[in-house]
Amino acid sequence: MRGAVLWMACLVLLGGCATLARRPPPPSTINHTEPVGYTSAVRLVTTDLTGYTEQAPQFLEGIRRAAAGRRVNILALSGGGSSGAFGAGALVGLTEAHARPRFELVTGVSAGAIIAPFAFLGPAWDARLKATIEDSRRHPPVGSLGWRFAQLILAPLGLFGHDRLSELIDRHITAAMLRAVAHATAGGRRLIIATTDLDSQETVLWDMGAIAAKGGRRALALFRKIVVASASVPGVFPPVLIPVHDGDRQYDELHVDGGVTTPIFIFPLVAGLRPQDLAPLRGADVYIIINGKLASPPDRTPINTVDVVSRSISAGITAATRSTVVESQAIARQMGMELRITQIPPGYPSSADFDFGTRHMRALFAYGERCAALGMLWMTPTQANMLNMEARPHEQLDPRRCPAGVGTLARRAR
């Protein structure tokens, strides 16, 4: 995660070289403004108790009905930049092992937001998922150092139009995908992607199926824009403006990477205040794919602004992800859910989050694919937490060893 935040520190040093012309944001943190052509029901601010109370019953009952008498299956995908190749490979490996559930609810953040539509649509879209990962390797969304500094200075002015990330999304999120997501949603299943509204500093959860159900160019454009926003790491990619309205009043919201405020999620934050609303999902099977490491070897920090800021932010993201896993475990116990987690083990010899090179991405994809195919992907929350807290978790790992087979403490916790 350290590479992902280095550019944030660089952006701080640049000090805001350009200003994006925009309308003011909505005046209220918890607002019911609407994207043009939609109702406020297509999204939820994760702290909006009133909105959650209104939307939750129909939303959750739909998921229960979609399971058709089976246990509900839920998948949550974290961010991780190029390390998203691990999660993509894991999904393909589960298909190969005939062990991939049909997920009634899929959530995604950042890199996980790019993978989430393919995960939601199931094994029939594995070839397209693989093509997306390969395309991101051939045409990295992060360009050269000089190109990226030009983007940092000029992209807010709109001089570049679609950047490389937008072009990648445009190629792989198609009208056919929109129709498929709409069809799956009609049966009650749900695909939810998170962005961060910088103006309100809140997490916004988008019901992508409700957007897809509108159909047409406007729906496809908004669908793509939300995925781009969710994956737009501040300082690496420009923020995304989303026009909204409240009657005759027009506003602009500025959205960036959902991982800024929530590294991974299953339910809105406000759900913790009303656990009784989650009753339709009692007994669900919950799967969490963390596209990254939750423990890293010690590394000497140079005493300079960039390194101190970037490592501080990285430490915060790692701690927030760990806390989310613990909180998810508590909710799962309360609701009788079975929680399974996978992650890149601490000792796996992976590179930085923005290393889109052939060797790194292909190796991580193959690693996730092989471990899933062998049935060695999933750990219990206790196993995962103990793995990250093991006395010697940082020895370089034999890449043949899978997450469920790593670490003495993890094995004892089975």
Q: What is the DSSP string of 356-377?
A: --HHHHHHHHHHHHHHHHTT--
pLDDT of residue 365: 94
Cα 175 versus chain centre, distance: 22
pLDDT of residue 356: 54
pLDDT of residue 309: 72
307, β-bridge pairs = none
pLDDT of residue 150: 46
pLDDT of residue 128: 96
pLDDT of residue 30: 65
pLDDT of residue 20: 63
pLDDT of residue 347: 79
- Give 358-364's long-range contacts (Cβ < 8 A, gap of 24+): 358/137, 360/82, 360/85, 361/82, 361/85, 361/133, 361/136, 361/137, 362/85, 362/137, 363/399, 364/82, 364/83, 364/85, 364/86, 364/89
pLDDT of residue 396: 56
Digitized pLDDT (tens) for each residue of the chain, 414 residues in all = 444 444 444 544 444 445 567 888 888 766 678 898 898 889 999 999 999 999 999 999 999 999 999 999 999 999 988 889 999 999 999 999 999 999 999 999 999 999 999 999 999 999 999 999 888 766 656 544 444 444 444 445 333 334 788 888 999 999 999 999 999 999 999 999 999 999 999 999 999 999 999 999 999 999 999 999 999 888 778 889 999 998 888 999 999 999 999 999 999 988 888 888 999 999 999 999 999 888 877 778 888 876 787 777 778 888 888 888 888 888 889 899 999 999 998 878 765 555 555 677 888 999 999 999 999 999 998 888 777 776 454 555 555 688 887 754 444 444
Q: For the stretch 185-198, what's the b/e string if a residue is b when 16 or more beta carbons lie within 10 angstroms of its beta carbon?
A: beebbbbbbbbbbb
In 3D, which of 379, 380, 361, 370 has the Cα closest to residue 401? Answer: 370
pLDDT of residue 103: 98
Instruction: Say how far apart CA 335 and CA 64 lie, in whole Å.
Output: 14
Instruction: Say how far apart CA 336 and CA 324 lie, in whole Å.
Output: 18
Query: Tokens at residue 319, please?
Result: 């701690």
Instruction: Say how far apart CA 318 and CA 326 lie, in whole Å.
Output: 13
